[in-house]
Structure 1
Amino acid sequence: MSAAGWSTPEHVRAQLRRRWDDGSLPRAYLKREPFPRVEVPLRGPTATELAQDLTGVGRWRTALLEASANGAAFSLQHRAVGGRSVGRNELPSRAVVEQYEQAWRLLGVARQARALDEALAETWELLPQAEPWVLCEPLRVIGVSADWQRILRATRWVAERGAGRYLREIDLDGIDTKFIETNLSVIAALLDAVMPTGRISSERSRTRQFAERYGLQSVPDLVRIRCDAGFLGLPSAVSELALRPEEAARLQVAVQQVLIVENLVTYAAVPIPAEGVVIWGAGFSAGRLGRMPWMRSAPSVAYAGDLDSHGFAILSLVRSQLPHTRSMLMDRSTLLQHRDRWGRDPKPTRARLDHLLDDEQLLYQELVEDVHAPSLRLEQERLDWDWVLDRLEAQ
């Protein structure tokens, strides 16, 4: 509105902008639907205001006429305003947009509209199965329109040739793994339209999720194991292993004690238990450790994780496969001893955990219910080191 409360060209533009920003206008355009005629009532001067400020009214009317670009952006309907003192004047009362070309001119999006036309044509040529997605998501297409052809080619390679291969093997000009990672969300959405598949855990990296979801090979996670030099039949100079999970499961070893540690630096620093090993849990990947026969037969298994809701979720997951697992450094006394080192969990879980002991379940509920502090999190690496060593020795 103008200072006098009269409608301005920006008022007309805003009515169209909402329909562009919510995607309804570009969707209708791509689907070749008739333009959804838009009529915008214009608040203009009253007869009294006209008589008091003829010059201001003239400027207001001129601004609307110039913005309409002689009908190229919108047409104007008029009404008679005035009386005996100033005579009857035809003033704009309504702006009407009834063609896509008018909307594009008014919004300044003609280039984006052309990009949509080109993207749809390229989709028909390279990946016609993805056309319904393009028709529903025009704004996402516009956001990557400069790379659209390469995105389509990458999508088609994954769908048709990617099964069992690494992304690194893609052999298309101008397309490499960095390009795919940069455009991962759009390529994944296109692949869902082309080759729908079930969802996988969100606990893995985006690239690993992508690979597993669409049948590609992914670089395997490794199970990291520390042990005393010479233990497990290793050469005397070797004190650490990093194995693929399936290889670690095939180890023919007898281990008395297993300590699973969440934090990598803590894993590297803690003392190795007698006749035992230390294993890096690596978040929810710790849940795979129960598949290893030599761990299931170990008399003592302990898990030490973060003191937060997710730490207890991982503990529950580990214990679901290794029922005799004990928790370490995940008790109320450890939590309260380190008040000055508390932090906040940005996304705490409230999941039901069925494999916690009574005291663990009680502390988990206290964390969920913010008894001690909102979204409380005590990360393992923040624990006092002497406290850690004392508790390890006492186990």
Structure 2
Amino acid sequence: MKLPDEVRQELIRRFQNKHREWLVPGPSNETENTRWPLEINLGIPTEVAALKQPEGVRAWVTTWQNWRGVGTLIWNDRRWRSLGAQRLPDKLVLQGPADVASWTGETARWECACIRHAEITTRWPSLALGITRYFDVLADYSDADYKRIYAMLDWVIANPNSNLYPRQLPIAGLDSKWLEGRKGLLSDLVATIKGYTSERDFFQLCGLKPLPYPIRMRVLDQEIRNKIGGLGDLSAPLDELAALNLSVSRVFIVENLQTGLAFPDMLGTVVIMRLGYNVDVLARLPWIAKARCIYWGDLDTHGFAILNRARSYLPNLQSVLMDEETLLSHRTLWVKEKQQHAAEAHPLLTDAEQAVYGGIKQHQWGQNIRLEQERIAWDYVWNSLIT
């Protein structure tokens, strides 16, 4: 025997699971588990069950008699041998998603999402299904943020090859911080509108010019420094570094800036710092192809994920100081990794690297352990780097 609170909890779960697909009007929003009108069985007991709890049945009936809410309550007449004629609540019938939203306290969000979905798909019909996964954007964005999204889509679709920097766009309220947090959303929507299926980055999709990507690099060989005006510590756009055509035999790639700054001079060597997941830029440095490339990252899940990504661009990339011995011999320096990488494994890691990654991921040595590269004693580091 379901009471209104139990029905509400059932509808909350149903709304959470189905509200995105319900945004698309018509038969397409009906699934095997949700057909409109939606009937919720209230659980009429058998006569035997009713005889065991007559007061409970009476209270259940009274609750539904006094109920005033959204939906149509269907009653059923039963004639029981021992209890006589009974009129019992049988089903609650809801006509559509708006009724479910009313029961779950989601009316304002649902109405807002529906209005915006109708507006944006009238303008771009191809978004009818694709934008449903962004229900929270439609339901919760402020009017100002929603208008910026709409205006941004409108402008880049009308001007597909502007080759402007983002801050040059004539869109009210647009700023770098706002745009940075929504590039994924905008990329997805633009790709859907244009019908693209292959992966493209935000700037390609929108026909915009990316800001020059600065790379921080130190040249550790005096002879090479002499050839580039004596510069030893550079932060320059990728294209400018690529044009240097350096004659290097070894390239270190490290995550921490201070780690890179600590490197002493080494013949034929440069050290590149703080790329993070942007290691794809390495493939655009032509002089790196003939060098021995060595990656040294943090001993945590993201360090190994970056190493795996880097190997997709530099297949012969070696790792250093990312082994079990280094990790376990520095227990006193461990800190917590706030959020681990989602992948269970990475295909381009060696067996030894994967074993360490798996051990960290599965908390083999402790919960979310992390050894930051800059914490390792330099004499320990140096013995590994010069091998």
What is the TM-score of this pair, normalised by structure 2?
0.73
Establish whether residue 364 from structure 1 lines up as the match of residue 353 from structure 2: yes
Please say if residues 23 and 114 of structure 2, whose CA atoms lie closer than 8 Å, have aligned partners that are also in contact.
no
2:8 alignment partner, SS class: helix
Please say if residues 20 and 26 of structure 1, whose CA atoms lie closer than 8 Å, have aligned partners that are also in contact.
no
> CA 1:158/1:262 → structure 2, altered by over 3 Å: closer, same or farther?
same
> CA 1:63/1:174 → structure 2, altered by over 3 Å: closer, same or farther?
farther
Match of 2:5 in 1: 10
Match of 1:153 in 2: 151
Q: How far did residue 252 of structure 1 move?
A: 5.0
Match of 2:275 in 1: 282
Establish whether residue 219 from structure 1 lines up as the match of residue 192 from structure 2: no
Match of 2:373 in 1: 380
Please say if residues 30 and 135 of structure 1, whose CA atoms lie closer than 8 Å, have aligned partners that are also in contact.
no
Match of 1:206 in 2: none
Q: How far did residue 77 of structure 1 move?
A: 1.4
Match of 1:351 in 2: 346
2:77 alignment partner, SS class: strand
Match of 1:76 in 2: 74
Match of 1:167 in 2: 166
1:22 alignment partner, SS class: helix
Q: How far did residue 340 of structure 1 move?
A: 3.9
Please say if residues 277 and 306 of structure 2, whose CA atoms lie closer than 8 Å, have aligned partners that are also in contact.
no
Q: How far did residue 41 of structure 1 move?
A: 2.8
Q: Which amino acid aligns with 1:166?
A: Y
Distance 1:351 1:43 in 2: 50
> CA 1:286/1:73 → structure 2, altered by over 3 Å: closer, same or farther?
closer
Deviation per CA, 1:36-60: give whole Å up to 9, x if none: 1233333357768978988765553
Deviation per CA, 1:226-283: give whole Å up to 9, x if none: 23689234556x5311122221121155456544433222001221224643332624
Distance 1:281 1:150 in 2: 32
Q: Which amino acid aligns with 1:111?
A: A
Q: Which amino acid aligns with 2:119?
A: E
Establish whether residue 30 from structure 1 lines up as the match of residue 28 from structure 2: no
Please say if residues 16 and 103 of structure 1, whose CA atoms lie closer than 8 Å, have aligned partners that are also in contact.
yes
The 5 A counterparts of 1:104-183 are 104-134=101-131, 141-144=138-141, 146=143, 147-161=145-159, 163=161, 164-183=163-182
2:226 aligned residue (223, 226, 232): 232
Q: Which amino acid aligns with 2:158?
A: E
Task: Specify the structure having the higher radius of gyration (Cα).
Answer: 1
Distance 2:116 2:139 in 1: 8
2:36 alignment partner, SS class: coil
Give the number of aligned pairs: 367
1:261 aligned residue (235, 251, 254): 254
2:209 alignment partner, SS class: coil
Q: Which amino acid aligns with 1:74?
A: T
Q: Which runs of 5+ in 1 are unaligned?
A: 1-5, 201-208, 355-360
Please say if residues 154 and 180 of structure 1, whose CA atoms lie closer than 8 Å, have aligned partners that are also in contact.
no
> CA 1:274/1:57 → structure 2, altered by over 3 Å: closer, same or farther?
closer
> CA 1:97/1:314 → structure 2, altered by over 3 Å: closer, same or farther?
closer
Q: Which amino acid aligns with 1:43?
A: G
Distance 2:81 2:290 in 1: 100
Distance 1:150 1:319 in 2: 39
Distance 1:369 1:53 in 2: 55
Please say if residues 46 and 81 of structure 1, whose CA atoms lie closer than 8 Å, have aligned partners that are also in contact.
no
Match of 1:42 in 2: 42
Please say if residues 124 and 131 of structure 1, whose CA atoms lie closer than 8 Å, have aligned partners that are also in contact.
yes
Q: Which runs of 5+ in 2 are unaligned?
A: none
> CA 1:174/1:105 → structure 2, altered by over 3 Å: closer, same or farther?
same
> CA 1:178/1:122 → structure 2, altered by over 3 Å: closer, same or farther?
farther
Please say if residues 257 and 276 of structure 1, whose CA atoms lie closer than 8 Å, have aligned partners that are also in contact.
yes
2:90 alignment partner, SS class: strand
> CA 1:157/1:64 → structure 2, altered by over 3 Å: closer, same or farther?
same
Match of 2:85 in 1: 88
Q: Which amino acid aligns with 1:246?
A: D
Deviation per CA, 1:13-72: give whole Å up to 9, x if none: 344444422226962772377961233333357768978988765553342133344xx5
Q: Which amino acid aligns with 1:194?
A: I
Distance 2:186 2:175 in 1: 13
Distance 2:242 2:310 in 1: 20
What value does the CA root-mean-square deviation take over the aligned residues? 4.3
1:40 alignment partner, SS class: strand
Q: How far did residue 315 of structure 1 move?
A: 6.8
Q: Which amino acid aligns with 2:238?
A: P
1:23 alignment partner, SS class: helix
What is the TM-score of this pair, normalised by structure 1?
0.72
Deviation per CA, 1:336-392: give whole Å up to 9, x if none: 5434445687236633438xxxxxx45325425649858876442231122224444
> CA 1:239/1:68 → structure 2, altered by over 3 Å: closer, same or farther?
same
2:208 alignment partner, SS class: coil
Match of 1:193 in 2: 192
